[in-house]
Structure 1
């Protein structure tokens, strides 16, 4: 609001017209900028529009990698199960495989990343069709995959790889125009300052201001992430974590303020309620279309996020399971974040490579129905296992089961005189007819399975339907 003195000066006699206009325009621009600032409270922060790139991306790759990749047994929660819970199974594993007195810190130098090839990883993620990659910068064990200034001698530069893993992968994926996200755990199981705050009923914040916040500001300023995937929030509220102050800085003044996306894990009261997009829970799958942007995160290894040496093929998600989940997730307006766990040496084992490449091959044919798509007015026809997406004037029906008679019955689309039907990956138009109860019958191409564009989850594209 301008004071009377300012108005009088700006519009005063003798001031040329152009400077007066510039002053007024400048004030208007300043006012708009002021309105766009977000205050450190959820009503303000939740009002920020989600940057468009995230909804358009649809598919990303999650990477769980850290010191837990050294024992590579049980899961990435190895240290907690061994020392936090005191699990006899984990204690027996240690006594059978490591000398007496071996500590978790002793795993650090064994996390060598000797064969870590960020360019090779990025090539694989690009071939998988991923539009964003999320790397664990720090899991609940506290080891940082970058040279953190507040994690002395427990980071990838001081111990183990002696490399900046976060920086190297970021450089490689960005060369390929893939967005780069950083997973970060707010808490650490055994950090003395965290345990002190916990003992104090989270009335003190020694850990937050000595560890968590310096890490987050450092990650943003140094690596300029497109996404921050927060975790480890479930023991205390966002007020303990100082989450709203951090997010207001992130949205207002950080180097990534216009493009950055965050999830909803900023305190035990936030999940599925506050933040950028919602994770809600690991492997979250809504049964109907949510009214807020969301993401399903899941892992190729059904039993772990980190690499396990004892993983068996029966515990690995199949190609059809993964693609079916991707289709269902996108149809319901979500993004699909698929996790792999590299080895301590930095290798992505062949079965994980194979699954990622299978997704990429499928997307190379059907990506038109996935990337930048929107949910249609109907998402699912249960009887036929058909999922719908849409983009501009096109409607896509992705069917998971090939009908025995070669005729696909679609009940939801309403045909018009301009209706045209094709299958992605096949050039010719398909024959169709109206279905008496409503909808249409699509006569699928009579081809041997080897001649079909993909092995499962085929896409019908319809133009001129309502």
Structure 2
């Protein structure tokens, strides 16, 4: 018998076995990955798939539930003129106050357009180290940077948008710098993305191709129609303005090329900066019942793809643990538990079973000089009261402190942060790592604040909000009582909310055990002569062991 021909060949067996093992691993990897043509690269590994049923496996990270308060820098080239939000659109609308300011200050938008505003953004007084230290001292547990706005300018070292802050303007990676310093100071880091197809392609770009309807420059096209060839000999020589402004189009024209660019830019932000929080200034619900319009331009069909990519990427970078927060606004109720819903300048009207977020601003979203000149920022008292309201209903507050184009807050903003931080230094025990109680609050002012940009409520004596942590209940009085007597009705004997005995009632920043009594009307507390802080007074109630 020929042993070589018919016997056992060990080398071939080992080689064949290795091949089978590699094939098995490849097959297993393919089962645990998927292809998505919206993104660059090969198959995407991870358990999530770009559909709502798969995304229902999402679980909220503890860090977000415990943080409660973040600060946001809603900062882009639009802060340079110091004329408020949406400047990149208003400057192209004849008769608009921003247009009038632009013509007077910089010249006509046919000659000096938004691309030129981006060019003069220098961020020359920006000290991110100082600011992050200040924000952390104020009480923020996470910091969020604006990645881009509806203007279509990227505030990071973008691979897919040459009109970015490294190539144009500051010549610095704004998002990357914020991320590095925020994390060095122990803050979680997030990025907000506002340049979605519906907002940018439909709302901001079309006005750039227009012209004045009246006046000496009637029918002279604005700079949005310029092309690369128009830049010869100018500061933007070699750059194509259509990368910033889009090809001339009507707001109802399809934009497949913009959608493709949008998805790649979102992927770039995720891959480069690994944000703990990713926020989109758009909605993820179909709007047929509201008249349709730009449904096809919106986020409903794109959101699951972004979420799956983001969640899977986050898990790979966190040893298999999902630690990511995805924010978007209107969301179908059936899939609310797949993400963290955001309320812009509004809030939920009752305790929510899942965490959520309010984003608010002390002034205009983009810096507005007139608010400083007229001292019209929202007050620390109003924003602390908003924080307390939000947290009592299982939410977080993300607060924008608008920066001027040069990058340094003004005096009124520094004063705001100092006063807000002083309140947090005394009372943050009732905020961080708390959970909602059985009811959010009591008192005459039960405003939901659900109307965006509605007037903030004026709280009255007796208005209370509740939070809990461990066996402690925090009752936060939103107004001080001049007569020195506070009654918490929800803690009455026989109350369905608090059946046990109370051992102690203290006031944070003051006495640890006040004079108090309990009867069928509630818990009556004798207040100290002076309050421990200027507003929102926290009473700590502990049960009898």
Same fold (TM over 0.5): yes
- Deviation sequence 1:234-267 (CA, Å, 0-9, x none): 84456676221221122224455721111124xx
Which has the greater radius of gyration? 2
Please tell me whether the aligned partners of residues 430 and 474 of structure 2 are also in contact (alpha carbons under 8 angstroms).
yes
Shift in Å, 1:337:
1.0
Task: Tell me the residue number matched to 2:439.
Answer: 378
Shift in Å, 1:192:
5.7
Please tell me whether the aligned partners of residues 415 and 465 of structure 1 are also in contact (alpha carbons under 8 angstroms).
no
Please tell me whether the aligned partners of residues 437 and 467 of structure 2 are also in contact (alpha carbons under 8 angstroms).
yes
Q: Residues 99 and 354 of structure 1: is their aligned pair in 2 closer, same or farther, counting only changes over 3 Å?
A: same
- Deviation sequence 1:128-175 (CA, Å, 0-9, x none): 1001111101111111111211111x1111111111111111111111
Find the aligned partners of 2:333 and 2:79 in 1 and give their Cα distance.
28
Q: Does 1:306 align with 2:306?
A: no
Q: Residues 205 and 92 of structure 1: is their aligned pair in 2 closer, same or farther, counting only changes over 3 Å?
A: same
Q: 2:520 aligns with which of 413, 420, 436?
A: 436
Q: Does 1:156 align with 2:165?
A: yes
Q: 2:143 aligns to what SS in structure 1? A: strand
Task: Tell me the residue number matched to 1:94.
Answer: 102
Q: Which is further off, 254-263 or 339-348?
A: 254-263
Shift in Å, 1:392:
1.4
Shift in Å, 1:368:
0.7
Q: Does 1:398 align with 2:460?
A: no
Unaligned runs of 5+ in 2: 1-28, 34-45, 206-243, 285-293, 445-461, 492-497
Task: Tell me the residue number matched to 1:11.
Answer: none
Q: Does 1:224 align with 2:274?
A: yes
Find the aligned partners of 2:432 and 2:397 in 1 and give their Cα distance.
11
Find the aligned partners of 1:329 and 1:194 in 2 and give their Cα distance.
43
Q: TM-score, normalised by structure 1?
A: 0.83
For 1:81-120, list aligned pairs within 5 A: 81-83=90-92, 85-100=93-108, 101-120=111-130
Q: 1:315 aligns to what SS in structure 2? A: coil
Find the aligned partners of 2:56 and 2:300 in 1 and give their Cα distance.
19
Q: Residues 417 and 246 of structure 1: is their aligned pair in 2 closer, same or farther, counting only changes over 3 Å?
A: closer
Please tell me whether the aligned partners of residues 379 and 416 of structure 2 are also in contact (alpha carbons under 8 angstroms).
yes
Q: Does 1:63 align with 2:113?
A: no
Q: 2:341 aligns with which of 278, 303, 308?
A: 278
Find the aligned partners of 2:544 and 2:351 in 1 and give their Cα distance.
21
Q: Does 1:212 align with 2:272?
A: no
Q: Does 1:172 align with 2:256?
A: no
Find the aligned partners of 1:272 and 1:81 in 2 and give their Cα distance.
37
Q: 1:135 aligns to what SS in structure 2? A: strand
Q: Residues 177 and 271 of structure 1: is their aligned pair in 2 closer, same or farther, counting only changes over 3 Å?
A: farther
Find the aligned partners of 2:53 and 2:150 in 1 and give their Cα distance.
29
Q: 1:212 aligns to what SS in structure 2? A: helix
Please tell me whether the aligned partners of residues 94 and 100 of structure 2 are also in contact (alpha carbons under 8 angstroms).
no
Shift in Å, 1:416:
4.1
Task: Tell me the residue number matched to 1:49.
Answer: 59
Q: 2:341 aligns to what SS in structure 1? A: coil
Shift in Å, 1:464:
0.8
Unaligned runs of 5+ in 1: 1-29
Shift in Å, 1:233:
5.0
Q: Which is further off, 98-107 or 316-325?
A: 98-107
Q: Residues 393 and 78 of structure 1: is their aligned pair in 2 closer, same or farther, counting only changes over 3 Å?
A: same
Q: Residues 118 and 88 of structure 1: is their aligned pair in 2 closer, same or farther, counting only changes over 3 Å?
A: closer
Q: Compute the RMSD of aligned alpha carbons.
A: 2.9
Q: Which is further off, 186-195 or 354-363?
A: 186-195
Q: Does 1:242 align with 2:306?
A: no
Q: Which is further off, 58-67 or 288-297?
A: 288-297
Find the aligned partners of 1:94 and 1:239 in 2 and give their Cα distance.
32
Shift in Å, 1:269:
6.0
Q: 1:375 aligns to what SS in structure 2? A: coil
Task: Tell me the residue number matched to 2:543.
Answer: 464
Find the aligned partners of 1:196 and 1:308 in 2 and give their Cα distance.
30
Q: Which is further off, 114-123 or 85-94?
A: 85-94
Q: Does 1:76 align with 2:85?
A: yes
Q: Residues 396 and 293 of structure 1: is their aligned pair in 2 closer, same or farther, counting only changes over 3 Å?
A: same
Q: 1:263 aligns to what SS in structure 2? A: strand
Q: 2:408 aligns with which of 347, 350, 370?
A: 347
Shift in Å, 1:68:
0.2
